[in-house]
Each structure stands twice: as C-alpha cells, then as structure tokens.
Amino acid sequence: MKHYSIRIAITALCMAIAGSATAQRFDATATAGLNMCQIDGDGAGRYNHPGLRAGVGTSFSLGSDEQSPWRMVVELAFAQKGSMAGDEYFQRNISLNYVELPVMLSYNMLDNRLRLAAGIAPAVLVGARVTDDGSDNQPLADTYKPLDLLPLTAAVRYRFTDHLGIEGRYENSMLSISSNQGSGTYRIVRDNKGTFSRLLSIGLTYTF
C-alpha cells in the first residue's frame, strides 16, 4: 500500500507542475537513449552496465517573460540502471528498472539551440533482479529500496534543427538505494552509507 501511495504522490506532483504551465507557453520533448551505469559500493568502479532510457518532458518559462532563457523542465522517464561486478571466478549482474520524475532548472543559449540543465530526478523502482553467475539472488534484489529520492542530475542538450537534438546526462544518487547498509561507500558524510547509483547517458531528443 505504501508503495502505491508513493507512486500516486509522484504522479500528482507531475500533474501539478505540468498544470502550472498551461497558462504559459511550453514545449514537449521525447527522448530515447542509452545509459551506462554503475553502483558505487558494489566493489566495481566502471560504467559497464548498459541500459535504456526513454521519456517525455516539457519546459516552461519562469515568470511572465516568455523570452527569458531560464526555464523549468519536468520529465517522466523509464530508466534501466544497475552494475556488473566480479572477476573470472564470480560475476554479479544487478539490473534495476526505475520510473523517474526529473525536475530541473535550465538555461538556454545560442537561440535556444543549447540547453544546460540541473536538478533532481526522484525515481520509483519498478523492477529489480540480481544474478550471481547466472543464478537469481532474490534476497539481495529485495534489499533495493522502492524509492531513490535524491539523485542529482545534470544535462546538456544541443538541437541541430528546430526538432532534432542530442543530449548527454549525468546522474548520481545522494541517498543509498539499498536497505543493506552494512557495507559499501558513503555520500557527503560517513553516516550516509550504502550503495549509490551513478550513470552517464546519451540520447536523441525530438521537440514538438
């Protein structure tokens, strides 16, 4: 019940933010691309876990000046994350599927061709699978939290035409994505210990 309540709250937030843009000029963008992921604290340090990312989003100007380069960006996306760790004797594959709600402040340049954006991308876990040498490790999969509340994200987009563009993105969780905090690394302070998702993403965008 708690899991579904969280999903409803995130959906309501998305609708409320999008609704605030109805009185202003806004755009719509679809994005599809590839994530290269890792999990800090799992014993591996390479962006070697591929995943897909696809989503839709809108941006709207802040205040009454429609020509302002500052805009708010709200997105809804599906993102595959995880990690691959091990050696010649042992292999672990962690696959995590999330629905994200990135909310970012952006700045447009070069006649709106170039956009720099930064913000947070809270996410709901909709699927987790961990395999050790090809065998399911369900107890470990069950330790991953239903919410990743505070991933920081930054994105750069360049539009070649009025519609088609390319985007690069970086994301880094600030809170542990696993309830198993007996080992791993930490963020900011040592008490904030566990495992943390990190990724680089590149994709194509289409603005309507």
3-state DSSP helix/strand/coil % of the chain, to nearest 5:
10, 60, 30
DSSP labels, 78-120: EEEEEEEEE-SS-EEEEEEEEEE--EEEEEEETTTTEEEEEEE
Contacts 24+ apart (CB under 8 A), 19-24: 20/60, 21/58, 21/60, 21/72, 21/74, 24/60, 24/61, 24/66
CA distances (Å), 197 to each of 35, 51, 75, 104, 145, in order?
Answer: 12, 13, 19, 19, 12
pLDDT confidence tier of residue 203, bands split at 50, 70 and 90? very high
Token pair for 145? 């939290």
pTM equals: 0.87
**Lowest mean pLDDT: which of 61-65, 66-70, 146-150, 202-206?**
61-65
Q: Using one digit for the tens of pLDDT, what is the confidence trace for 75-107?
A: 999 999 999 987 778 899 999 999 999 999 999
Q: Using one digit for the tens of pLDDT, what is the confidence trace for 149-171?
A: 999 999 999 999 999 999 999 99
Instruction: Check pLDDT > 80 for residue 133.
Output: yes
- How deeply is 98 buried, as exposed, middle or buried, from its count of CB atoms within 10 A (0-12, 13-18, 19+)? buried
Q: What does pLDDT average to over the chain?
A: 88
